[in-house]
Structure 1
Amino acid sequence: MEKILIVGCKRTMDDVCIACSRCMVGFNRREGEFARYKDQDAELIGILGCGDCPGAGIVPRLAQLNLWNKPMEERPTKVHIAPCIMDHCHYKEPIINKIKAKAGVEVIEGTHPYIPNDIFA
């Protein structure tokens, strides 16, 4: 079974993206980058903020998540990078590179497909 961790932008998660619901709905419906799990068992085990700009805290946060989940023997098998980082973050490349260098699991760029093309259309 795949265990999915989503990494998003701390500032967006705290102030703009209400309850990270688009990522969760996309996962539940297996849409967007989550379509790869359509015919398999997969669970969302966490949504983790990057630690704030410039993303220097992402590796310690991944380590903290690992320690936090150890008593339950849960660990991610895939890490998805949310659109709040992919589409809007000036530091996305170093953040993604740090995650890829340290996570030890596949890192997938993207989550849900619900990005509006025109805000007021």
Structure 2
Amino acid sequence: MNSKKKIGIIICDRYRRCAGGKCLRAMRNKEGAFSIYAGLDVELVGFTTCDGCPGGNIEYAGEEMVKNGATVVHLATGLVVGYPPCPHIDTFKAFLEKRYAIEVVVGTHPIPKKYLDMHTHLGTWKDAVWQPLIAPTLSDELTRANYD
């Protein structure tokens, strides 16, 4: 019997006009950070932005998602691959986990190849603190290329 995971997604406000296509495709295909749900049904119960720096919507979005049954909140891949990456991502994760006793996963869709190439060139993710943040969305080379 399949268990259903109810999730919410919070994206960076820089991408507020994003239609969510990559996140939703990755969720449907269980790719990127959604690979942890292989064999499970996944239902999206909330999708919104952080409302811009320093994340004024994090408190309210988390509360609404939990009210709608979310057991996991994903901080979208855009928070990691943006230029520059979100400086508040650790704070968002810690707050949501503590305030709502909910699991928070950094990442949604696989990191597109063009972003990995540029951040590698820039040295953005050289610091060891970034490794656990990008790990769930690294995927293999072909999958990354399919998300360009």
Q: Which TM class, normalised by the smaller chain length?
A: 0.7 to 0.9
Q: Is the 8 A contact 2:96 2:102 kept in 1?
A: no
Local SS of the residue matching 1:113: coil
Report the residue type matching 2:52 in the other structure: D
Gap runs ≥5 in structure 2: 119-148
Q: Equivalences for 1:70-85 in 2 at 5 Å?
A: 74-85=68-79
Q: CA deviation at 1:107?
A: 0.8
- Distance across 2 between alignment mates of 1:108 and 1:61: 15
Q: Equivalences for 1:97-112 in 2 at 5 Å?
A: 97-112=94-109
- Of residues 3, 6, 9 in structure 1, which corresponds to 2:6? 3
Q: CA deviation at 1:13?
A: 2.5
Q: CA deviation at 1:26?
A: 0.3
- Distance across 1 between alignment mates of 2:23 and 2:33: 10
Are 1:92 and 2:89 an aligned pair?
Answer: yes
Gap runs ≥5 in structure 1: none
Q: Is the 8 A contact 1:32 1:111 kept in 2?
A: yes
Identity of aligned residues (%): 30
Local SS of the residue matching 2:16: helix
Q: CA deviation at 1:114?
A: 4.1
- Of residues 109, 113, 121 in structure 1, which corresponds to 2:110? 113
Q: CA deviation at 1:22?
A: 0.6
Q: CA deviation at 1:61?
A: 2.8
Q: CA deviation at 1:31?
A: 0.4
Q: Which structure exhibits the higher relative contact order, with contacts defined as CA atoms closer than 8 Å and separated by 6 or more residues? A: 1
> After the TM superposition, which parts of structure 1 deviate over 3 Å for at least 4 consecutive aligned residues?
none
RMSD: 2.0
Normalization by structure 1: what TM-score? 0.78
Report the counterpart of residue 30 of structure 1 in structure 2: 30
Are 1:56 and 2:56 an aligned pair?
Answer: yes
Q: CA deviation at 1:57?
A: 3.1
